[in-house]
Amino acid sequence: MEGMTALTSVITSSLSGSLTDGSTASTEVENRDLACATRVLRTEADALVALAGSLDGEFLRALDILQGIEGRVVVTGMGKSGHVARKIAATMASTGTPALFVHPGEASHGDLGMIARIDAVVALSNSGETHELADIIAYTRRFGIPLIGMTRRAASSLAEQSDVALVVPPEPEACPLGLAPTTSTTMMLALGDALAVALLERRGFSAADFREFHPGGQLGRALLKVTDIMHKGDDLPLCRLDSPLSDVIFEMTAKRLGCVGVTDEAGALVGIITDGDLRRHLTPELLAERADSIMSPRPKTIRPKALIVEALREMNDKKITTLFVIEADRPLGIVHIHDVLRAGAA
């Protein structure tokens, strides 16, 4: 019995030691992984700081070219640079600078026809010697198409042939072998963002403009204006100051928005009658009254360019369910809270 107890003690001790050793080993691996990730991020962050400090007149010349062209910005690159080029083209296109990506391999087999003489080309190459870019470079030189090169080597063929060479600093790649494009592609991606945003600000591109290129998703819904969802034309419930309440009730019932706007002789909105107003004034003589006898003056309104989120806030603050959209005191439309909610503002 004592032997069994001793054996159990040995086994328990051994298992405990194994578990401890495994936990220690696991912790060491996790620490090593976190240290690696931290090193990568810090390496790339340092490179971006260096890139920001290297910007000069060449960047401004590139902006002048891209802003001044009549056509589009054609962005191109091979391999990892190609993936970055696609993203830069997409960012420019969504922020007011017409742009597209052209694959350099496909360009050599007919897609050069996608590049017009009124366009500009932004070509990405880490080494500046990517042979697949040769035909695009030659095409731009032949037809006088502005070429902006983005590379890591100032003495490269791409930089020498470009009208403007944006040379990123020679910061070390985050890859410990120094082979996989990591830091270099991060700098090119950030430089593309810098071009896109600087062009956006030069053009005065607004949130409303941004919404035109992003009609889907939460962003598009958040940037909808009241004019995008308002009831207008024949769907707008209106009456005149001297309209009999029998007509007002008919108009309110037909338009089904729970209210009618009251306008003066000039067509300006001067009041509102809600279904609650009708109930509060319900008497046998009600139908003989005129609209101006029970209307509430100075109804709550909103400007045409207001976002629907602003309309929702106004309705919540005033505890109302409708807002007339007016311009120069004249009603253009009406927005109901159900319209706002259906549009996804909340």
Binding site per annotation, positions for Zn(2+): 103
Q: What is the DSSP letter of 155?
A: T
> What is d(CA 217, CA 220) in angstroms, rounded to the nearest whole number?
5
Phi, psi (degrees; rounded to nearest 5) at 109: -125, 40
From residue 86, how far is each of 1, 19, 20, 89 by CA, in Å?
75, 49, 49, 5
Q: Which amino acid makes up residue 211? A: R
Residues 6+ apart with CB under 8 A from 212: none
CA dist., res. 216 & res. 94, Å (int): 13
Tell me the DSSP string of 173-215: PSSTTS-S-SHHHHHHHHHHHHHHHHHHHHHT--HHHHHHH--
**What is the torsional sign of CA 95, 213, 323, 334?**
positive
Distance (Å, rounded) from C-alpha 302 to C-alpha 327?
9
- Rounded to the nearest 5°, which phi and psi values hold at 257? -115, 5
Name the strand (E) or helix (H) holding 149: strand 147-151
Beta-carbon-side half-sphere exposure of residue 253 (alpha carbons within 13 Å) = 7
CA atoms within 13 A on the CB side of 69: 26
In the annotated binding site, the residues are 103
CB 255 within 8 A of CB 261: no
Tell me the two tokens of residue 117. 């003489």
Determine the residue type at 199. Answer: L
Question: Please, what sign has the CA dihedral across residues 271, 275, 277, 282?
Answer: positive
Q: Which helix (H) or strand (E) holds 272?
A: strand 269-274
